[in-house]
Amino acid sequence: MATVIRFFQDGGIFMFPIGLILIVGVAIVIERFIFLSNAKKMNRDAFDRILAMLQKKDYQGALNVGKSSDAPVAKIISAGLQRMAQSSRREDIELAMEEGVMEAVPRLERRTGYLATLANVATLLGLLGTISGLSEAFGAVANADPSEKAAMLSASIAVAMNATAFGLFTAIPLLLSHSFIQSRTLEIVDSLEMAGVKCMNILTHAQDLMAKQRAEAGSSK
């Protein structure tokens, strides 16, 4: 612990904003991971319930689940069912579901982009801290005894590098976390689109059967 404190103190004033970036970044990573994990679980549970109802042609029950659930997939399918009550055209129903996907995506991607920005800022602050430390080191060595200059310069450079090291220590995990969270977000978005297509096919098939039955009934008369 003493080594860590010494490392932090020797890095200069720029260690503090880098440390703040690390704390904020970790908080965003934890919040996004929990949110996306809950969203994935909610989507899976809601989709299983709605799919079972659609297969039984219980459209009102599926609509009620969509209205009462906070899962994005439930909202998307609910939007399609509401549009189906107004128009039986597949294009209109697909458009309503696509609008639901577009509404869900910003919530899934919220704050994820900040991680890449924070990582870049941490790296730049580390470099700035090193440059500042080196400037102070060369200024102090300029007036020192010639026999001590080499030792003083080596020690000063080592201390100045602490800022860059801490900046990279902060940036690398944040960039990896950004890629991981982004991939999980894209996975959820793809699952939403897949769920919409699957439900759309079920609804279209049911409509085709109803139309066929009406046609057969009309021809029998």
pLDDT digits (tens, 9 = 90+) for 15-56: 889 999 999 999 999 999 999 999 889 888 888 888 888 777
Q: What is the pLDDT of residue 198?
A: 82
In order, the DSSP letters of 56-83 are: TT-HHHHHHHHHH---HHHHHHHHHHHH
What are the tens digits of pLDDT across the range 110-127? 889 899 999 999 999 988
What are the tens digits of pLDDT across the range 185-217? 999 888 888 888 887 777 776 555 555 555 555
Is 19 in contact with 11 (CB distance < 8 Å)? Answer: no
CA angle centred on 30, ends 25 and 33, rounded to 5°: 120
Give dist(CA 124, CA 24) in Å, integer: 17
Is 156 in contact with 4 (CB distance < 8 Å)? Answer: no
Site of tokens 């009550």: 85
Is 164 in contact with 129 (CB distance < 8 Å)? Answer: yes
Is 8 in contact with 19 (CB distance < 8 Å)? Answer: yes
Confidence of residue 180 (pLDDT cuts 50, 70, 90): very high
Q: What is the pLDDT of residue 179?
A: 94
